Amino acid sequence: MGSSGTGEDRPSRAADDDELVVVLDSRETRQAVIREVAVPHAGEAGHQLVKVRIPAGVRDNTLIRLAARAPGGGVGRIAPGVLIRIRVTSSPASSAGEPGVPPPSARSSGVRSSGVPASGGSSGRPRRRRGFLLTASVLVLLLAGTTAGALWLTRASDPPVTEAVYQQALTTFDNRVGPAFGDLVAAATPDDVNVRAGQLKEALDEQRKALRGLTPPGPVGQAHAELVRALRDLADEAEEVAEAGGQRVLCTGASAAGDLGRSAAAERLRAAARSLAGSPSAGGYVAAAFLPARAEAARPPAAGTVFGTPDPDSRAYLEVDNARGDQDAVVSLVATGERSPRLKIYVRAYGTQRTAGIPNGAYQIYVTTGSEWDGTGFGRDCDFQRFDRTISYGSGTAGWDLTLQGTILGNADLDGVSPNSFPR
């Protein structure tokens, strides 16, 4: 509970149908009046000061439900279900004053949602009558401060948890979100990225709600609020990563996690964790240990890099023409009857690469293109294809030439392949 004209911020904690109470003198009900009330933000920690218009003729025990958004798309958003109960007290004959302006005792008083008058209010308990429900429009959001005669009300909130309980909540957060983040890092296909980034979002949302419901130890209140906001933003980023996986824009966990780790939301989470770690309380708190330091995207290997072991006794070659391709490519040679490539050859965009030492055998040729190669696959803008015929190396075969872009003289086609069945 706060008093009129103070800048002290003692925010209430929002819940469904959260109720605040405003006390009016019976004389004030003869005309519309405006009161300022601290109400919770929607979906995040913190409160905002709003002006609420109370209509003329309001009765004792009337309920006013605040609109969730300011009319005309105003700044800010109010948590849904916030109610203000109007309590009307009798006007002492000796306290007559300017019409519509409450006496000092009324202007500086407030009551908890239980209906018990606060200090400075009327000593009599107003008689309860059947309530009336109205919906009030928010006139002004996010005011810079209070004004003369403003009524600043809060309701009782849960007491702060102990340092040990708070650290346990942070540990639970890490234990729930950390494995989900690790699963995303290990994603090998776009489908994996899509599913695992979605699971990470669910874990972030779950823990954000759990932490938002805590009242942290006083010294870390600001850092806690920053942590909750960062988790909300990181969950939004994870949702975008999931969508990018479904569209094959992000194709591996390394690139997906790298995008998350370089996001502004991740930077805010690191900053909040540093603030918590630097708190003198409990020697500092540990949070978000799963989030690695910011890392830059992987650099492509050199043109002609070969993954696998060429045959040193073979002079047979494979020449790959990617001169008209605008993406890097990796060509894989998978021997008949095998599932993993014998050799993989990295070919840069707009380039041609000849590789010697191809072992004897019959091969199916697979091609993947994209960017951000991480050693096993392209992490971004990936595509997967296979030549519709095999090639053979043996006695009398000097080599083969492959052109990755269509030509009228071509004698083979490239067919699309599911990322999940592509050999790695």
- Tens of pLDDT along 386-401? 999 999 999 888 999 9
Distance separating alpha carbons of residues 25 and 27, to the nearest angstrom: 5
- The predicted model scores a pTM of 0.62
When comparing pLDDT for 282 and 92, which is higher?
282
Q: Are 142 and 75 in contact (CB under 8 A)?
A: yes
When comparing pLDDT for 152 and 220, which is higher?
220
Beta carbons within 10 angstroms of residue 124's beta carbon: 9
Strands 378-387 and 391-393: unpaired
**What does the pLDDT read at residue 174?**
97
Q: Are 215 and 159 in contact (CB under 8 A)?
A: yes
Distance separating alpha carbons of residues 95 and 102, to the nearest angstrom: 9
Residue 188 in this model has a pLDDT that exceeds 70:
yes
Average pLDDT over residues 17-29: 76
Distance separating alpha carbons of residues 1 and 155, to the nearest angstrom: 6
**What does the pLDDT read at residue 44?**
56
**What does the pLDDT read at residue 79?**
57
Going from the C-alpha of 262 to that of each of 225, 259, 271, 325, the distances in angstroms are: 21, 5, 13, 29
Contacts of 277 (CB under 8 A, 6+ apart): 284, 285, 286, 287
Distance separating alpha carbons of residues 237 and 231, to the nearest angstrom: 10
User: Of 367, 378, 371, 374, whose CA–CA distance to 414 is shortest?
Assistant: 367
Helix and strand numbers (H, E) in the chain are: 6, 16
Residue 122 in this model has a pLDDT that exceeds 50:
no
**What does the pLDDT read at residue 150?**
34
Distance separating alpha carbons of residues 42 and 26, to the nearest angstrom: 33
- Residue 381 binned pLDDT confidence (cut-offs 50, 70, 90): very high
Q: Work out the mean pLDDT of the chain and round it to a whole number.
A: 79
Residue 99 in this model has a pLDDT that exceeds 70:
no
Convert the pLDDT of each residue in 309-359 to its tens digit.
Answer: 999 999 999 999 999 999 999 999 999 999 999 999 999 999 999 999 999
Convert the pLDDT of each residue in 35-79 to its tens digit.
Answer: 877 776 655 555 667 778 888 888 887 877 765 544 444 444 565
The CATH fold of domain 19-136? HSP40/DNAj peptide-binding domain (2.60.260)
Convert the pLDDT of each residue in 237-246 to its tens digit.
Answer: 999 999 999 9
**What does the pLDDT read at residue 280?**
73
Handedness of CA 216, 169, 47, 269 (dihedral sign): positive
Q: Which CATH class is domain 306-421?
A: mainly beta
Average pLDDT over residues 168-175: 97
Residue 173 in this model has a pLDDT that exceeds 60:
yes
**What does the pLDDT read at residue 104?**
41
Residue 307: how many CA atoms within 13 Å on its side-chain side?
19
Q: Are 299 and 344 in contact (CB under 8 A)?
A: no
Q: How wide is the angle at C-alpha 269 spanned by C-alphas 265 and 271, nearest 5°?
A: 115
**What does the pLDDT read at residue 110?**
37
Average pLDDT over residues 105-126: 38
**What does the pLDDT read at residue 252?**
96
Convert the pLDDT of each residue in 218-228 to its tens digit.
Answer: 889 999 999 99
What are the start-end ranges of the H helices in 186-220?
Answer: 190-212
Q: Are 86 and 152 in contact (CB under 8 A)?
A: no
**What does the pLDDT read at residue 39?**
72
Residue 114 in this model has a pLDDT that exceeds 60:
no
- Locate tokens 């929002």: which residue? 14
Strands 343-347 and 62-66: unpaired
- Residue 194 binned pLDDT confidence (cut-offs 50, 70, 90): very high
**What does the pLDDT read at residue 77?**
55
Distance separating alpha carbons of residues 28 and 310, to the nearest angstrom: 92
